[in-house]
Amino acid sequence: MTKSVTPKAKSKTDGAFTRFLRATEIDARLLGMIAALVLIWIGFHVYGQVVNGYGAFLTPRNLWNLSVQTASVAVMATGMVLVIVTRHIDLSVGSILGFSAMSMAIIQVWILPDLIGLGHPMIWVIAAGCGLLIGATIGALHGYLIAYLGIPAFIVTLGGLFVWRGASFLLARGETISPVDATFSLLGGGPYGAVGATTSWIVGLVACLAVIAILWQGRRQRRRFEFPLRPIWAETFLGAIGCGFILGFVLLVNAYPWPKGIVKQYAAANNIDTPVNEIFISHGFAIPVLMLMAVGVMMTVLTTRTRFGRYIYAIGGNPMAAELAGINTRWVTVKIFALMGTLCGLAAVIASARLGSATNSLGTLDELYVIAAVVIGGASFSGGVGTIYGAIIGAVVLQSLQTGMVLIGFDAAIQQMVVGAVLVSAVWVDIIYRRRSST
């Protein structure tokens, strides 16, 4: 005998907006972040730098560059969500990024050319793999010290901040290591580090099909386990919004053409007689952005569809209860920090490839920007609350503020003051939200 499913009772005093949120199950804080992001974009477009009589912020060129600049911080932010959800903190991510980047640069500039030959096609693969492995090892070491030796995460990672920054300096004796492998540098973006219009459309259509499949599978699972179903109009609305955003993003990245100088070089190399002014070659998605999208999907699946993800939120909600329930909280902690280190290694790949070299300052203060992005994205230091998409949106908000202030002409000191004020405001909003939710 099947149980009848009754939808959640609706209060007669609920407004239309409240009923809409309940039917679509959209997080109110997500809407708040998106609204804040839109206001920031419009404000900087209206009051920022003007080019040819138009605002310079909401242009394909600026937004494409914004997405690339966000990638490395956002990748690390997806891992920092897990750290903060479990009531820990990691102050060493910027230093791990710098050490991993310096290690990869030394491997591909000083070591591998002598071993397998300069320009070997496997150089970038080996270097990137070593960077991920180094980051994972450092993260696992931090997790071991925290979980099994009982040293507070704040102290362990604060020590790691100094240790790995100093180790990075010692590795190269303070030198800048360059140039990195030509194929490796494509992982940082740029005209040749993008996939072009056709591939971008393929990625966009596949993503739209994935959105539809997720909604269909979710509805099927709800029906199977006799959970309340969203109205058909709500499912359709969510699908339309998701696909609309994806296709709009594809249109945006395809609207940004290669610079004329690079087009001229490309035409000369390929014996193209068409005048340069008549050639339009789209950038499409930058490779770092595709890497961020892949990380976002995998981390979302990890946190919402796996036992490990349930363990993370259980530990964050009540560590003692989670341990009494049989969860090996120490081992989970080690894995969280190892994953955080791996993502730092991936961010090091993006950052060093984009720069084309490894410097001693690479990753400096990134730990603060990563933590700020996660907090702006809705994660709570009280534990148990935080989402991957929230962290990514928080990173976009933070980078948008920095980019917009550069266009306006604010100096570095003002930029840091604004970021600090936004971080404190985000924590204050979270405190108010939690108070109202508990009443």
Binned average pLDDT, 10 residues per bin, the chain of 439 residues: 44 72 84 88 81 74 95 97 96 97 95 90 95 98 97 97 95 87 92 94 96 92 88 94 96 94 88 86 96 96 94 94 94 98 97 93 92 90 90 94 86 83 80 71
Give how far Cα 359 sits from Cα of 105, 174, 243, 352, Å.
9, 8, 40, 8
179: cis peptide before it, omega within 30°?
yes
3 state DSSP class of 328: coil
Chain CA centroid to CA 156, Å? 24
Residue 213: CB atoms within 10 A of its CB come to 10
Give how far Cα 379 sits from Cα of 162, 274, 326, 385, Å.
26, 53, 25, 5
| Whole-number Å distance between alpha carbons of 260 and 281 | 10
Chain CA centroid to CA 297, Å? 10
pLDDT at residue 356, rounded to an integer = 92
3 state DSSP class of 50: strand
| Whole-number Å distance between alpha carbons of 274 and 143 | 58
Residue 329: CB atoms within 10 A of its CB come to 17
| Whole-number Å distance between alpha carbons of 255 and 8 | 45
**Block residue for tokens 């599978």:** 217
Give how far Cα 230 sits from Cα of 30, 237, 239, 383, Å.
19, 11, 12, 29
DSSP letter (8 states) at residue 228:
P
DSSP letter (8 states) at residue 282:
B
CB 11 within 8 A of CB 219: no
Say what the pTM is. Answer: 0.92
pLDDT at residue 436, rounded to an integer = 73
Sign of the CA dihedral running 433, 244, 253, 404: negative
| Whole-number Å distance between alpha carbons of 346 and 357 | 15
pLDDT at residue 1, rounded to an integer = 39
pLDDT at residue 9, rounded to an integer = 47
| Whole-number Å distance between alpha carbons of 237 and 244 | 10
| Whole-number Å distance between alpha carbons of 285 and 64 | 8
| Whole-number Å distance between alpha carbons of 133 and 52 | 48
Computed over its alpha carbons, how large is the radius of gyration of the chain?
23
Give me the count of residues in the chain. 439
Residues contacting 140, CB < 8 A, separation 6+:
334, 337, 338, 341
Residues contacting 150, CB < 8 A, separation 6+:
none
Give how far Cα 394 sits from Cα of 180, 371, 374, 379, 399, Å.
31, 10, 6, 10, 9
| Whole-number Å distance between alpha carbons of 374 and 381 | 10
Nearest alpha-carbon partner for 81 in 379, 418, 417, 413: 379
Residue 60: CB atoms within 10 A of its CB come to 16
pLDDT at residue 273, rounded to an integer = 84
